[in-house]
Structure 1
Amino acid sequence: MKGKTRKSLLLALITNSVVSAHANESPRESVDDAIPVQDCVMQPSEIVDVGSAIPGVVEAIHVYRSDRVKKGTVIVELESSVERASLELARIRAGMDTAIELRQEGARFGSLTQKRKQELLRKSAISQHDVDQSETEARIAELQVRHEQDKKAISELEYHRAQMILGQRSIRSPVSGVIMERFKSVGEFVENDPLVRVAQLDPLHVEVIVPVDYWGRILPGMQAEVTTGLGVAGEYRATVERVDRVADAASGTYGVRLSLPNPDYAIPAGLRCQLSFLPQSLHEPAQIVDATEPTLPVEVTNEYPTEVCYSVGPVKDESTAQVLAERLEQTTEKLRLRSASNNVIAGYRVLALEQPNSQGTKRLLSLLDKAGINDRFVLAQGENKGRLALGYFRTRAFADQRQEGLALKGFETEILPHTKDVDQYWLDVALTGEPDLFDQLESITASLVSPAAFKPMACYPELANR
């Protein structure tokens, strides 16, 4: 009996030790498989050395180091007195209608002469030759009218060209960001040299070098926790944007780029940081197993993402979205078309300052007539009803040029965006982590919409469970 008891105790001890070993094995493997914390660097998403399309002398620089600028803001102006004079000359030529009116009067008189000679021919008072001559002269007069109309159309194009040439003398920021450095001063000649360096800080790019041991574990769309050491507010969430497909053989590493939103510029660029990738699924907590119960095989799940989701859009019309959906169905069956009505900017109105009464409006119209500004109209509806509009433009740059030209003539104006509701469409797709599928999706998207419309997104149940 004692021997059997000892055997039972020994068997229980062995069983407990095996269970304990299995219980301790899972956390250790999880720790070993996790990607360790990596060192990283925060950099501007764009650094642009802004130059000039044409040579010239710097007349004014409107920014200094650390100034914030918006995309399209005039930051440098070149000397442009000759271009302004050419623009004024082209404007006057484009507005001249005297030659057309003169030719129209000649054509009208030729038509009357032709009709009178037709009457005289029926009475046999003149010869057929005289009638043919009058018809030819009338036809020539009509062609002269068309010739003058063509010349006016060319003058209008030359006026538009003069506006573009003058616009080149105003250097605008290509991105929204912060001025890093000024390379030129007022009075210096510019040809091929940069004028200003601008850094785009929203979003920031987080660059990290990862050992090739973790190749295939980091995919676009994954998220990571970024720590900067800036105190309590020094922890941020970034999203994987690009993963290098070529590794460095010498160091055994490859690069990963993450995108970190920074709308209020609270995070400075150029900081060193630490980054830890976040798994998209977590292990369930281990349960205590009774030593007397038989052990069951444990199902091991991969804590790294096997499926990544992307958003394609916005697509302007539903027909293009349907064609894109049909092509994407060849790559994945998990896709969802969604739409939304967004209020977008359709153009920009240049409005004269609001007048206190109708007498003020008449006085302003009289001044515009004296200045030769005929391109204007009174708004008949909307919140700006009754105000005088001096132009409507598709882009803000053209509206700014119009405003600057009016300011030179002494007229103060303001630019107001004109918005309208537009239906836009998005396609959300879910892919496995295979790089080939990612390339196919990117290629199909670029063939129909802008490549910038292809962005990673968080997977949601309606898409993942399709």
Structure 2
Amino acid sequence: MLLVKITARTITVFLVMTLLTFGVVADESSAKDGSDSQIPDLDCVIEPSEIIDIGSAVPGVVESILADRNDLVVKGTMVAQLEASVERATLELSRERANLNTAIELREEGARFGHLTQNRNRSLLQTAAISKHELDTVVSETRIAELQVRQERDNKRIAGLELQRAQAVLDRLTIRSPVDGVVVDRFKSAGEYIENEPVMRVAQLDPLHVEVILSTDYLGRIKPGMQAQVTPTIPEAGTYLATVERVDRVSDAASGTYGVRLSLANPDYTIPAGLRCRLGFIPADQAANMDIAADADAAMDDLKGSEKPTLDVARPESQAVSHSPSPGTLPDPESATDNRIASVNPVQSAVADSVAGPLTVAGASEQTAIDIPSETMDKPDKKKLDSAESASGQTVTVHSDVLGVNGASEPVAASIGAETVLDAVVSKPAMKKEQEQPGSCHSIGPFARESVARQWFDGLHEVSEHLKLRDESESVDGDFIVLTTAGPDPKAIERLIGRLDKADITDRYLFRSGARKGAVSLGVYSNHRLAVKRQQDLAGKGFSSEIVPRSNKIRHYWWLDLTLPAGADLSSWIAQLPSDLSAKPVICSEKFAQR
């Protein structure tokens, strides 16, 4: 009986220990799976999507090089020309043969006379003036004349084909860029002989390729279409979205890694190639939220009219300035879910470094209102704009640990000094509302970069009564094309090409389709002055041309409109302005104060 009890107890203990063991193993597996749920940031390399060594289809001597290192080239633009004097002469000879109609007119005249003779002989045959044999001879000669007309027309068509062949032979001596891109290097100069060597190297920079190597532990988790955030490892680099394009199907067994290629759009060539970068894959749920936000932004842009409404943003209670909350204040709608990349405020960093412990400032302004255009709230790199308000004569306590700065190491570029801002706040006289005097209004700018303008915005909102960040834009021309046209008539185009050949103008491109069909491009220039010089050179050779912008770009400038309180020391912070900025005094109208 005792043996049975011991056995049952032993079995019970064994089962309990087994369950506990499996539970611990399951917990460890779950913890391991949870730790692997997110892929860490990885090192990557930004490379051109195509690197092409442009060569020649035939050997020859280089006559001219039309592009050099770092020049932008367009697909189809001539970058080099081989010596082609014989080919040009052959082309001119073929063009003259193709344009000749004398032989056809001669045969047509013979056939017409044959028909007249045939009709007369038929009348003479009825009167027995000639024999039937003589009439048959005339009919046969007329038929031969008609065949000779057809033969000459066939010869003219063959001459047209020979003209096309001569043009193709000449085109083979013209080296053109196969892609839109930039010239990386030039290997040959005018006068050198080439056979199998490349003339220059061209890199396609739109789109860029981002190459990253991953461990096989993440095999199967990266799929085409996923998005990632790419940050080049250079100072003041932004963060860009790239899309997974290719995932290697074969991994490297020796290193236990495999490769992934992402596509990064670069339409304006602002992202240089050949840089190292850091890459972080975006989880599927976050990517879906970003897509929804992008769709919402697009819908809001569609609903916006020509007028740009403004939005007053109140400082959340969690900001640096502590005061009693005013009734009816709404929380910041973006404070709940903000997946965007926040940048460090250098002005606040300077203030935090200059303050040792809590700082008490007396006599702050009664209310500081900040109005910004509503479209600036939609930008991914937007900082949260805030405002501080306190009653007249109250004490405002600012703590250095709540300024939102965590060890910022970036240099404070184009921002006002922290001590200057604090001095302006401390020296501001405390006045009752009915005793306040009108302040001065200024417009500061223009800022070429929005990030620098926002740094000034964050530094000035504590000392201004009204502050607005204003965006101005203007349309500027991009590259310029020098065009000449002869109209849609093919014969007129051929005559124009012939004139260009006679004038030895070979650096050209004929548009055979599209909106510019029939026009001839005589050069693409990034500088309008060079385009005008080219136009003058063509005019000296007897060719009329026009300069057409190839693309339009929108250039943005930012201004800060602010109202300073009466008695504020302007020279203390105007002295901090960079040389390219100015502070223009403006009239403090009611409209200005309400921005």
TM-score, length-normalised on structure 1? 0.58
Equivalent residue letter for 1:91:
R
Q: Report SS of the residue matched to 2:196.
A: coil
Deviation at 1:101, TM superposition (A): 0.5
Aligned match of 2:495 in 333, 350, 373? 373
Contact 1:351 1:416 survives alignment (8 Å): no
Q: Which residue pairs with 1:63 in the alignment?
A: 67
Aligned match of 1:393 in 509, 512, 526? 512
Number of equivalent positions: 300
Matches within 5 A, 1:150-299: 150-281=154-285
Q: Report SS of the residue matched to 1:268.
A: coil
Equivalent residue letter for 2:255:
S
State the distance in 2 between where 1:174 and 1:397 align. 20
Aligned match of 1:97 in 77, 90, 101? 101
Matches within 5 A, 1:65-80: 65-80=69-84
Q: Which residue pairs with 2:346 in the alignment?
A: none
State the distance in 1 between where 2:150 and 2:68 align. 53
263 and 229 in structure 1: CA distance in 2 versus 1, 3 angstrom threshold: same
State the distance in 2 between where 1:40 and 1:247 align. 17
State the distance in 1 between where 2:514 and 2:89 align. 24
Deviation at 1:46, TM superposition (A): 0.2
Q: Which residue pairs with 1:351 in the alignment?
A: 485
65 and 372 in structure 1: CA distance in 2 versus 1, 3 angstrom threshold: closer
Gaps of 5+ in 1: 1-21, 284-348, 354-367, 377-390, 418-466
Deviation at 1:79, TM superposition (A): 1.2
Deviation at 1:143, TM superposition (A): 0.4
Equivalent residue letter for 1:36:
P
State the distance in 1 between where 2:42 and 2:275 align. 14
- 1:328-358 Cα deviation digits (max 9, x unpaired): xxxxxxxxxxxxxxxxxxxxx95259xxxxx
Deviation at 1:231, TM superposition (A): 3.3
- 1:90-139 Cα deviation digits (max 9, x unpaired): 11111111111010000000011111111111222212111111111000
Q: Which residue pairs with 2:295 in the alignment?
A: none
State the distance in 1 between where 2:139 and 2:77 align. 59
Please identify, of 101-110 and 153-162, the stretch whose mean Cα deviation from structure 2 is larger.
Answer: 153-162
State the distance in 2 between where 1:171 and 1:238 align. 33
Gaps of 5+ in 2: 1-25, 288-482, 499-509, 524-537, 550-595
Deviation at 1:195, TM superposition (A): 0.2
State the distance in 1 between where 2:66 and 2:496 align. 32
State the distance in 1 between where 2:273 and 2:146 align. 68
Deviation at 1:234, TM superposition (A): 2.9
State the distance in 1 between where 2:108 and 2:85 align. 37
State the distance in 2 between where 1:374 and 1:127 align. 57
TM-score, length-normalised on structure 2? 0.46
Q: Report SS of the residue matched to 2:284.
A: coil
400 and 48 in structure 1: CA distance in 2 versus 1, 3 angstrom threshold: farther
- 1:224-269 Cα deviation digits (max 9, x unpaired): 0112122343311100001111111211111110001111211111
State the distance in 2 between where 1:372 and 1:200 align. 33
Q: Report SS of the residue matched to 1:411.
A: coil
Q: Which residue pairs with 1:324 in the alignment?
A: none
Q: Which residue pairs with 2:451 in the alignment?
A: none
Equivalent residue letter for 1:351:
T
**For the aligned residues, what is the CA RMSD?**
3.6
Aligned match of 2:148 in 144, 151, 159? 144
User: Which protein, 1 or 2, shows the higher relative CO under an 8 Å CA cutoff with sep ≥ 6?
Assistant: 1
Give the fraction of aligned pairs with identical amino acids, expressed as a percent: 56
411 and 176 in structure 1: CA distance in 2 versus 1, 3 angstrom threshold: same
State the distance in 2 between where 1:25 and 1:167 align. 67
53 and 372 in structure 1: CA distance in 2 versus 1, 3 angstrom threshold: closer
Equivalent residue letter for 2:264:
L
State the distance in 2 between where 1:132 and 1:222 align. 85
Q: Which residue pairs with 1:82 in the alignment?
A: 86
Contact 1:90 1:162 survives alignment (8 Å): yes
Moved runs in structure 1, 4+ residues, more than 6 A? Answer: 22-28, 395-398, 400-404
